[in-house]
């Protein structure tokens, strides 16, 4: 358990950051799920629209330090390839 005032403060800050990051990660996963569902449904227009909406959210995850840049690049690349294959 944290004893010094600085360690106590860091513990409080970590809790807050964890909550914010968890919410952001959940939001990103929701966007990804909508893309996956559109792909599974076979609707290319809906899948393309969902992917277009998900891309900025994924990139925001990179700038906020939740996801690695290459991870997001790989996800976007693979999703866009699957959306393109629908047509």
Q: Which of 70, 64, 55 has the alpha carbon at shortest distance from 21?
A: 64
Mind listing the pLDDT tens digit for each residue in 19-30?
Answer: 999 999 999 999
Q: Which of 57, 56, 58, 35 is nearest to 47 (CA)?
A: 35
Please give the pLDDT value at position 55.
97
Using one digit for the tens of pLDDT, what is the confidence trace for 53-71?
999 999 999 999 999 999 9
Q: How many Å apart are CA 38 and CA 45, to the nearest integer?
A: 9
- Average pLDDT for 35-63: 96
Q: pLDDT category, 50, cuts 50, 70, 90?
A: very high
**CATH code linked to domain 5-86:** 1.20.58.110
Query: pTM (2 decimals)?
Result: 0.87
Q: What are the boundaries of each domain within the chain?
A: 5-86
- Give the whole-angstrom CA distance, residue 59 versus residue 75: 11
What is d(CA 12, CA 16) in angstroms, rounded to the nearest whole number?
6
pLDDT of residue 53: 97
């Amino acid at each position: 358990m944290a004893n010094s005032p600085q360690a106590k403060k860091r513990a409080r800050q970590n809790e807050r950051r964890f909550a914010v990051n968890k919410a952001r990660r959940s939001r990103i996963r929701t966007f990804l799920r909508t893309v996956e569902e559109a792909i599974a449904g076979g609707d290319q227009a809906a899948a393309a629209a969902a992917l277009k909406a998900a891309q900025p959210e994924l990139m925001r995850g990179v700038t906020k330090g939740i996801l690695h840049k290459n991870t997001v690049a790989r996800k976007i690349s693979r999703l866009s390839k699957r959306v393109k294959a629908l047509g």
